[in-house]
């Protein structure tokens, strides 16, 4: 199938190219992409691939256009969010923790299917595709039906980040931290993940404190009901739960210092591997540190729950999103880095 795709190649400007998408296998579908979020992992991967041409994008949302012969439960015409890929059969997938799938690295980051076959060609040559089992910076994406979660009439630009960034933040709160009304949660960093976490905690009737250096993001979080500080160096009351989205060692240390006894810190940001932790303090204060990937979420369960909360007005995720045409990817990245936008979402149909 002929599609238009956004081709990236290291630090060179991105370009829209004609590409050939492979035919769906029995368990695969083709989704016409209406909206696709830009997530930090897209940018990290572009850097990792250096000069290798790639079609990235892993927060696709759109309309199912074709289904493979063995697909059950996903129908042509459904609006779906495409979440990360997982095998469905390994021990972690069977436990409902597909973020830790035994095949996760190959399925999400190898650039091909698990059997090494390419899914995307540009000028007859295979390019890095199948990113997070989708490569949705394109007018259509080929994906495993297992990764598709129906979202009904939610606007696609709001639904798209539920595939990864919003899922990660919301899942970290609901699956890992699990605060109760009256608790106080500290969220460090109000990018796409942190802001979604803050809104989710607010929807649980929890007091939320957000630490974020960018003034516009702080103002947005304050309007949504959070208490905000510019830096962790400010006077901050003790908290029952903390979420670090920055990966900065000093944030982790400071968050542990702010936790009440028996508090829990969840980590979703990748930073340097070494952080000095006072394990005596952990033990004596009953603290827990909990790493988590994709919010420990089973997308087919958590995404519908987040959609329900959005419909009831409890989760105003639309306030986090700014849309761009697909061709304006480079501008979207620049705006996000400058703090002018929080969550850029590309619209391949415009």
Three-class secondary structure of residue 270 per DSSP: coil
Interacting span for Zn ion (CB under 5 A) from 31-39, 276-284, 298-306, 336-344: 31-39
* 77 phi, psi to nearest 5 deg: 100, -15
Give 87 or 266: the residue with its C-beta nearer to Zn ion.
87
Site for Zn ion in 165-184 (CB under 5 A): none
* Member of 107, 164, 201, 220 binding Zn ion (CB under 5 A): 164
196 binds Zn ion (CB under 5 A): no
Site for Zn ion in 315-344 (CB under 5 A): none
Three-class secondary structure of residue 321 per DSSP: strand
Site for Zn ion in 60-79 (CB under 5 A): none
Q: Is the dihedral of CA 121, 123, 127, 131 positive or negative?
A: negative
38 binds Zn ion (CB under 5 A): no
> How far is CA 92 from its chain centroid?
20
Give 104 or 139: the residue with its C-beta nearer to Zn ion.
104
Give 114 or 275: the residue with its C-beta nearer to Zn ion.
114
Closest distance of CB 57 from Zn ion, Å: 10
Q: Is the dihedral of CA 145, 319, 327, 7 positive or negative?
A: negative
The Cα 31–Cα 136 span in angstroms is: 9
Q: Which of 209, 206, 186 is nearest to 257 (CA)?
A: 186
39 binds Zn ion (CB under 5 A): yes
Closest distance of CB 204 from Zn ion, Å: 23
Q: Write the interaction track for Zn ion spanning residues 89-128; mark x where CB under 5 A is met and - where it is not.
A: -x--x-------x---------------------------
Question: With 0-12 CB in 10 A as exposed, 13-18 as middle and 19+ as buried, what is 17?
Answer: middle
The Cα 331–Cα 328 span in angstroms is: 5
41 binds Zn ion (CB under 5 A): yes
Interface contacts to Zn ion, rule CB under 5 A: 39, 41, 86-87, 90, 93, 101, 164
């Amino acid at each position: 199938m002929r599609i238009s795709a956004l081709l990236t190649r290291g630090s060179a400007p991105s370009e829209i190219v004609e590409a050939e998408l492979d035919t769906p296998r029995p368990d695969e579908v083709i989704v016409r992409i209406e909206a696709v979020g830009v997530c930090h992992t897209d940018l990290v991967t572009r850097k990792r691939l250096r000069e290798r041409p790639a079609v990235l994008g892993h927060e696709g949302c759109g309309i199912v256009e074709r289904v493979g012969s063995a697909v059950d439960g996903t129908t042509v015409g459904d609006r779906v969010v495409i979440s990360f890929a997982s095998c469905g059969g390994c021990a972690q997938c069977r436990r409902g923790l597909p973020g830790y799938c035994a095949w996760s690295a190959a399925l999400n980051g190898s650039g091909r299917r698990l059997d090494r076959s390419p899914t995307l060609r540009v000028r007859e040559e295979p390019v890095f595709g199948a990113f997070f089992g989708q490569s949705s910076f394109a007018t259509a994406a080929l994906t495993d039906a297992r990764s598709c979660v129906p979202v009904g009439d939610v606007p696609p630009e709001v639904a798209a980040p539920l595939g990864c960034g919003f899922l990660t933040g919301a899942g970290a709160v609901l699956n890992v931290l699990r605060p109760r009304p009256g608790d106080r949660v500290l969220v460090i960093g109000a990018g796409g993940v942190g802001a979604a976490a803050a809104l989710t905690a607010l929807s649980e009737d929890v007091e939320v404190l957000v630490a974020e250096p960018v003034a516009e993001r702080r103002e947005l979080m304050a309007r949504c009901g959070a208490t905000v500080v510019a830096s962790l160096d400010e006077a901050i009351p003790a908290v029952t739960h903390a979420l670090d989205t920055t990966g900065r060692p000093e944030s982790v240390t400071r968050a542990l210092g702010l936790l009440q006894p028996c508090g829990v810190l969840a980590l979703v940001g990748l930073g340097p591997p070494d952080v000095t932790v006072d394990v005596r303090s952990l033990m004596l204060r009953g603290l827990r540190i909990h790493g988590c990937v994709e919010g420990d979420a089973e997308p087919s369960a958590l995404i519908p729950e987040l959609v329900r909360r959005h419909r009831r007005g409890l989760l105003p995720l639309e306030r986090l999103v700014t849309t761009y045409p697909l061709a304006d990817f480079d501008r979207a990245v620049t705006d996000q880095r400058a703090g002018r936008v929080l969550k850029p979402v590309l619209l391949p149909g415009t």
